[in-house]
Amino acid sequence: MFAHNVFTVDFLWGRLPLYIVAIYPMMATVAYEIVRILGVFRRRGVLVGAVCVGFVHHAFYEIFDHLGPQLRWWEWTLDHPMNQPFFDSVPLPSVVVFAALWPMSLAFCVQLFVGRHVQDGKTFTGWQIVGRTIVVGVLASIGTAVLPLPATLAASISGSTTVGGFVYAAELVVLTVVAIPVLFGQWSSLRKDGDPATVRYSNPLILRYAAVYLAVMTVLWLTALPAYFGAVDGVTADGDPVGSLAYTVICVVVAGLSIAAAATVNPADVREQEAAVGSGASAARE
């Protein structure tokens, strides 16, 4: 389906670059934590939260996905049926499955087997975490195969990858239609809720990671723009395929808004009240 270029640090005999080992867990964690900070899992449940994770992850991932082929980080097999149809330089199955459905499946399993229990105050031993990690890995992989089945079956039954592409796109639209109002609603609701007793979660460190990632990818895209604008029929003068700049800009905006929402969901006055309540409780115990 694709082949990675050769990098300084590789695994699996040159087939797995270090940046892939790092970027997938990082992006999945960023998306999960943003949704968690916005309180979606707690108020809307496991499934809706997982859908929102898929949507947020999609925005972060596609910035990288539409840039990689032009910078020769990897190369897609153009005539492989599982890569059809293409969205500029990126297979539509990658745009939907790798970017949205895989993290949705992972987030669903993580929240189902670990997150919701931690949310309720339960703790796990090291071995319990190991066991649940294995279960999550297996079930999330199965989910990644199950969620795209409508598109896979549509392409198989019709004999047309174009039909399959429409169904892939429809699945992404469904995630988007669900996620946007939920994420905005959660942000707005928590912003208006001035009660310091309301259960909130924050993770400033992960938001800094997300901001740095977005800044680095933006710089890389800017350096690639001269070759991008000089491309003819979607191919640069050096023979590299280009992605969709317009779609990338949309994803940058969505990713930036997601970071901003998570960073501003807990107003300063509420944080001060929470700190005061915490200090008062400590003094009372003393």
DSSP letter for each residue of 134-151: HHHHHHHHHHHHHTTHHH
Overall pTM > 0.75:
yes
CA-to-CA distance for 35 and 29, rounded, in angstroms? 10
Q: Is the peptide bond before 241 cis (omega within 30 degrees of 0)?
A: no
Say if residues 270 and 196 touch (Cβ distance below 8 Å).
yes
Please report, for residues 78, 196, 261, the alpha-carbon distance to residue 267 in angstroms, rounded to integers and kept in the order given.
49, 11, 11
Q: Could you identify the residue written with the tokens 């970027």?
A: 23
Question: Across the strands, what pairs with 75?
Answer: 3
Enumerate long-range contacts of 13-17, CB under 8 Å, 24 or more apart.
17/73
Residue 79: the pLDDT is 81
Q: Could you identify the residue written with the tokens 């670990």?
A: 114
CA-to-CA distance for 79 and 66, rounded, in angstroms? 18
Residue 273: the pLDDT is 45
Residue 286: the pLDDT is 41
CA-to-CA distance for 31 and 33, rounded, in angstroms? 6
Six token digits for residue 181: 């109002």
Model pLDDT for residues 225-247, shown as the tens digit of each residue:
999 999 999 999 999 999 999 99
CA-to-CA distance for 3 and 21, rounded, in angstroms? 15
Q: Where are the chain's structural domains?
A: 2-35+48-276
* Phi-psi label, residue 25: left if phi above 0, alpha if psi -120 to 50, beta otherwise: alpha
Six token digits for residue 238: 């050096």
Longest dimension (CA), the chain: 73
The candidate with the shortest Cα–Cα distance to 85, out of 76, 230, 188, is: 76
To the nearest whole number, what is the mean pLDDT of the chain?
88
Confidence of residue 205 (pLDDT cuts 50, 70, 90): very high
CA-to-CA distance for 230 and 143, rounded, in angstroms? 41
The candidate with the shortest Cα–Cα distance to 8, out of 19, 23, 76, is: 19
Residue 272: the pLDDT is 45
Question: What does the chain come to in residues?
Answer: 286
Q: Residue 46: in which H helix or E strand, if any?
A: helix 46-65
Please report, for residues 2, 29, 57, 172, 174, the alpha-carbon distance to residue 179 in angstroms, rounded to integers and kept in the order given.
30, 17, 12, 10, 9
Model pLDDT for residues 46-79, shown as the tens digit of each residue:
999 999 999 999 999 999 999 999 998 888 888 8
Residue 3: the pLDDT is 66
Percent of the chain with pLDDT over 90: 70
Say if residues 225 and 246 touch (Cβ distance below 8 Å).
no
Q: Could you identify the residue written with the tokens 């992960």?
A: 206
Say if residues 33 and 206 touch (Cβ distance below 8 Å).
yes
